Amino acid sequence: MSPDPRPDPLEGTSAEPGVAKADPILTVSDVRRSFGGITAVDVDHLEIPRGLITGLIGPNGAGKTTLFNLLTGFDTPDKGTWTFAGEDLAGVPAHLVARKGMVRTFQLTKALARMTVMENMQLAAVGQTGERLLPALLPSLWRPQEDALTERADELLVRFKLDHMRDQFAGTLSGGQKKLLEMARALMVEPSMVMLDEPMAGVNPALTQSLLGHVKGLRDNEGRTVVFVEHDMDVVFDISDWVVCLAQGAVIAEGRPSEIGSNPAVIDAYLGSSHSEAPVQRRKRHERRAS
Q: Is 146 in the site for another protein (CB under 8 A)?
A: yes
Output 61 or 279, the one with its CB closest to another protein.
61
Output 130 or 261, the one with its CB closest to another protein.
130
Q: Is 137 in the site for another protein (CB under 8 A)?
A: yes
210-212-216-217 Cα dihedral, nearest 10 degrees:
20
Number of residues that bind another protein (CB under 8 A): 45
User: Among 6-14, 20-28, 37-45, 131-139, which window interacts with another protein (CB under 8 A)?
Assistant: 131-139
Nearest distance, CB of residue 182 and another protein, angstroms: 8
Q: Is 133 in the site for another protein (CB under 8 A)?
A: yes
Q: How far is CA 206 from the centre of its chain?
A: 21
Q: Is 142 in the site for another protein (CB under 8 A)?
A: yes
Burial call 207-227: b when 16+ CB within 10 Å, e when fewer: bbeebbebbbebbeeeebbbb
Pick from 40, 38, 118, 48: nearest CA to 82: 48
Nearest distance, CB of residue 79 and another protein, angstroms: 16
Alpha helices by DSSP H, listed for the chain, are 64-71, 94-99, 117-124, 133-136, 139-159, 175-188, 205-220, 233-239, 257-260, 264-272
Nearest distance, CB of residue 114 and another protein, angstroms: 6
Spatial separation of the C-alpha atoms in residues 262 and 278, rounded to whole Å: 10
| Interacting positions 59-118 with another protein (CB under 8 A) | 72, 74, 93-96, 98-99, 103-106, 108-115
Nearest distance, CB of residue 94 and another protein, angstroms: 4
Spatial separation of the C-alpha atoms in residues 130 and 123, rounded to whole Å: 11
Q: Is 217 in the site for another protein (CB under 8 A)?
A: no
Phi-psi region of 204 (alpha: psi -120 to 50; beta: other; left: phi over 0): beta
Q: Which residues bind another protein (CB under 8 A)?
A: 35-36, 72, 74, 93-96, 98-99, 103-106, 108-115, 119, 122-124, 126, 128-133, 136-137, 139, 142, 146, 169, 171-172, 185-186, 188-189
